[in-house]
């Protein structure tokens, strides 16, 4: 029986279904069989510049192995995919939930309508690169981390998931641990106070009176990991999740985070000199919660990004410490 010759695809757009003779070969090989006159470099460049879709998803790996039955489309007018923002990664996603690793310097959500470059924007840009309809899927805020904090951040994709996850975070049922570097020699300890939006000098802090209006109970567990030259690498577990809770508690304990720009007044008043750092050294390293629909546990861990690790090394730490 004569071998069936692959249908050629010209320079213009074309689409085809992979057959048994393509099974196990690379995407580049399957394309080149059908693109007469094209070199290996030409075919790889088409893939790497986002001109090829497989099963309606942009394929950017020319060396990916393919299977019979997959539909491949060549779209010459497709835009070149933008690279991911450094430090951004989708850590978990299904039909109800998406959990990302957020870079430092990116807000979780827009605070004004014109705000852009938020974590929501990064997710939608990621979906566009994958060939998905980025505006067709809603994103609901159920969890936030500070703009200057990197690490794991959760969003809901359905109203059902939003309601369940809102309940999880409201009841402090999610397990969350952070890695941080704080000034001085930090001892392992438990910190509890009542936090208010204004402690009396215009910034968040602990209330002088537990009954002060708007005061919220906040509990932070600090574990020393390694003493550095003039600072300490710590692991912090949140029992509650108040705004700026870790930053406030460590600052009021005399150990503001390295890279802190807001909760640094007490250190300066005491004559201390802040250690230099290009960013706030606070990273949301773990997140554990029940899936909002199935109830199955989701347990995720995130290694600090390169900017955190470089700053840690400059302070006398090691990448092996985290």
Residue 149 or 202, more confident:
149
- pLDDT at residue 76 in the model: 86
**pTM, two decimal places:** 0.76
Share of the chain above pLDDT 70, in %: 95
CATH level 2 (architecture), domain 176-321: 2-Layer Sandwich (3.30)
Instruction: Using the structure block, give the residue that is written with the tokens 């574990």.
Output: 223
For residues 71-98, average pLDDT = 86
Residue 146 bears catalytic tag: yes
Q: Is the pLDDT of residue 6 over 80?
A: no
CATH number belonging to domain 14-74: 3.10.290.10
For residues 68-95, average pLDDT = 85
* Cα within 13 Å of Cα(214), Cβ side: 9
Q: Which CATH class is domain 89-170?
A: alpha beta
Contact 246, 146 (CB under 8 A): no
Residue 223 or 61, more confident:
223
Distance CA 32, CA 47 (A): 11
Averaged confidence pLDDT in the chain: 90
- Sequence ranges of the chain with CATH classification 3.10.290.10: 14-74
pLDDT digits (tens, 9 = 90+) for 16-43: 899 999 988 999 899 998 888 888 888 8
For residues 252-278, average pLDDT = 94
Confidence band (pLDDT; 50, 70, 90) for 4? very low
Q: Is the pLDDT of residue 143 over 90?
A: yes
For residues 152-176, average pLDDT = 96
Catalytic residue among 22, 146, 148, 307: 146
Bridge partners, residue 290, by sequence: 297
Q: Is the pLDDT of residue 115 over 70?
A: yes
Tell me the two tokens of residue 163: 């309601």
């Amino acid at each position: 029986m004569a071998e069936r010759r692959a249908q050629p695809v010209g320079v213009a757009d074309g689409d085809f279904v992979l057959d048994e003779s393509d099974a196990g070969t690379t995407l580049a090989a399957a394309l080149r069989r059908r693109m007469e006159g094209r070199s290996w470099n030409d075919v790889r460049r088409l893939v790497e510049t986002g001109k090829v879709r497989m099963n309606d998803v942009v394929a950017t790996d020319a060396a990916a192995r393919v299977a019979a039955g997959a539909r491949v489309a060549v779209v010459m007018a497709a835009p070149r995919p933008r690279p991911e923002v450094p430090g951004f990664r989708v850590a978990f996603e299904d039909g109800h939930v998406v959990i990302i690793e957020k870079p430092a310097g990116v807000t979780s959500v827009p605070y004004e309508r014109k705000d852009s470059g938020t974590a929501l924007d990064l997710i939608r840009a990621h979906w566009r690169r994958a060939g998905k309809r980025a505006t067709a899927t809603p994103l609901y805020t159920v969890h936030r981390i500070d703009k200057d904090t990197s690490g794991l951040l959760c969003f809901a994709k359905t109203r059902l998931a939003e309601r369940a996850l809102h309940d999880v975070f409201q009841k402090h049922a999610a397990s969350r641990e952070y890695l941080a570097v704080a000034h001085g020699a930090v001892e392992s300890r438990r910190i509890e106070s009542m936090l208010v939006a204004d402690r009396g000098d215009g910034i968040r802090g602990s209330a002088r009176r537990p009954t002060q209006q708007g005061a919220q109970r906040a509990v932070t567990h600090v574990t020393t990991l390694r003493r550095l030259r003039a600072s300490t690498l710590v692991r912090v577990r949140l029992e509650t999740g108040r705004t700026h809770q870790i930053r406030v508690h460590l600052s009021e304990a005399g150990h503001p985070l390295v890279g802190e720009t807001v909760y640094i007044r007490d250190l300066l008043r005491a004559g201390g000199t802040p250690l230099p750092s290009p960013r706030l050294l606070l990273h949301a390293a773990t997140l554990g919660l029940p899936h909002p629909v199935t109830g199955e546990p989701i347990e995720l861990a995130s290694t600090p990004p390169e900017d955190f690790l470089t700053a840690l090394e400059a302070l006398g730490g090691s990448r092996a410490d985290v």
